[in-house]
Chain A
């Protein structure tokens, strides 16, 4: 891969932005209720203004503006978050196979959400806030346990951390399953669908709350491009190159955990985005994080919009949880990656 230049960065990101726009349009038009491009443009530009009667146009308008576009925006935000945090964790943990779910952060956050659903805290009136707080708490608690377990001689050991993460993930997932048995039958199905990863349950108000938060967090991570490039060489080398390695490690883990917690509390456990996207991108555009991070944001968004469109359309009128779609493409990808790395002798 040739060295990164500003020109190549701009061109790559422009191409990906174009792809994201095209994906958004395609996904908005597809669904049980087909909406033509001309009509969609008319709705968006206001030429198809509601006339008061409940006509065909109004149904199209409601579907496009209140169901499909918010859902696409959510898919874009969640996909971007999972992809970019995956890339960040891979650098900080010095492990190309690291992924938000692998180290148990997603499971920790999901457990927090499950507890929020069961305990009916007094704050339950504020709904989202209680869930978010417990999701943050769960994700961060998982992370802190992991961090303490993996610290050897004052430094995080990547191998120990990943091993501990896998075990923690298994334990937390078992905890989540135990809690599902306490759910009353009316809520059981909804919770399980959420756990499997679902982007269908969101109102515009929530989107307005989490959107800016996720975008700000991702922006912060994207600005750490050259630091995270150097961090792949390990904390000692990074420190000797003028990076505050310990601080970047802690801050990167905490910010990633927060973003993952938000994504999980809204959309459940959507796996593999964080490993598939950065790996494909490394092949195509190289490993320089100055480009890899913003490219992961855009590509993660594209990937999850496509996956969610498949989830909506494939078995229409029923819906497949999007987490299953990403797992069904991501799982085999992950395994082929392992097989290849085994051949190269570097896991």
Chain B
């Protein structure tokens, strides 16, 4: 957490990312309407909501990939829009939902692309770059796959390569769009555990778009979007309620507490009508 002494001597937590009245439109269709949230450094945040609620748009806006129609995003004290793409890429890494690769790259070559914001125009990877690539490959357990073609590995393995690519960027903020969608259960669990560890040890801020309400219940805070508007924001135990699921997703669920982790546990009502 970024801690700052305020003028009166009290210690205040300064938000790392300040989003104010963010509005995004595609052509004329509004995708995001006046969303304001503050995110603290080292926080793990999940964005939830039904399809078309603006989750991915919100994430892309945080990555500087869509130009807001109005409103502002301030990252570490300066507006996102005014940062050069290369500087932004050293702070913020983004893994899209679609991880299709069309050319024969090895897993290692994909991970190496994460060093792009650090390379000179016709430059080759420096010793530091190679170390960062190796670290990312180890973190995502890709050692044995490193020299395989990314066209030949499974969808989940490709997704892990993409996340490793983002980690090789050594960012302060990691944006992940449905990172667990193609992953085996084992890697879903280890991905969330890894993100949790990176948050604690490296002070990494993670912002994840997800449909999996149980997976995100381990995050520090949840942002709930509905029809492009901010529906709610708060800790999982505050936000994950039966009323919210019914209002936002339009289906019924029972919510209790996980016996071991004490996190809220969401069980959808699958009863036949």
Determine if B102 and A346 form an interchain contact, defined as CB atoms under 8 angstroms apart. yes
Determine if B104 and A286 form an interchain contact, defined as CB atoms under 8 angstroms apart. yes
Determine if B96 and A229 form an interchain contact, defined as CB atoms under 8 angstroms apart. no
What residues of A have a CB within 8 angstroms of the CB of B102 in the complex? 94-96, 232, 346
Interface residues of B in 36-65 (CB under 8 A from A): 60, 63-65
Interface residues in A, total, Cβ within 8 A: 38
| Nearest CB in chain A to that of B150: its residue | A287
Determine if B94 and A242 form an interchain contact, defined as CB atoms under 8 angstroms apart. no
Determine if A240 and B124 form an interchain contact, defined as CB atoms under 8 angstroms apart. no
Determine if A242 and B106 form an interchain contact, defined as CB atoms under 8 angstroms apart. no
Determine if A5 and B124 form an interchain contact, defined as CB atoms under 8 angstroms apart. yes
Determine if A239 and B85 form an interchain contact, defined as CB atoms under 8 angstroms apart. yes
Interface residues of A in 228-277 (CB under 8 A from B): 229-230, 232-234, 236-237, 239-244
Q: In this assembly, does B11 line the interface, its C-beta being within 8 Å of a C-beta of chain A?
A: no
Determine if B122 and A290 form an interchain contact, defined as CB atoms under 8 angstroms apart. yes
Q: How far is the CA of A1 from the CA of B149 in the complex (A)?
A: 7
Q: In this assembly, does B169 line the interface, its C-beta being within 8 Å of a C-beta of chain A?
A: yes
Q: In this assembly, does B35 line the interface, its C-beta being within 8 Å of a C-beta of chain A?
A: no
Determine if A242 and B117 form an interchain contact, defined as CB atoms under 8 angstroms apart. yes
| Nearest CB in chain A to that of B110: its residue | A233
Determine if A287 and B112 form an interchain contact, defined as CB atoms under 8 angstroms apart. no
Asked if A2 meets B106 with Cβ closer than 8 Å, knowing A236-B65, A242-B86, A242-B88, the reply is yes
Residue-wise interface mask of A (203-247) relative to B, using a CB-CB cutoff of 8 A (1 in contact, 0 not): 000000000000000000001111001101110110111111000
Q: In this assembly, does B226 line the interface, its C-beta being within 8 Å of a C-beta of chain A?
A: no
Determine if B101 and A233 form an interchain contact, defined as CB atoms under 8 angstroms apart. yes
Chain A nearest CB, measured from B93 CB (Å): 7
| Nearest CB in chain B to that of A5: its residue | B124
Determine if B106 and A1 form an interchain contact, defined as CB atoms under 8 angstroms apart. yes
Q: How far is the CA of A291 from the CA of B116 in the complex (A)?
A: 16
B contact residues vs A (CB 8 Å cutoff) = 26-27, 60, 63-65, 85-90, 92-94, 96, 98, 101-106, 108-109, 112-114, 116-117, 119, 121-125, 147, 149, 151, 169, 175
A contact residues vs B (CB 8 Å cutoff) = 1-6, 9, 90, 94-96, 153-154, 223-226, 229-230, 232-234, 236-237, 239-244, 282-283, 286-288, 290, 344, 346
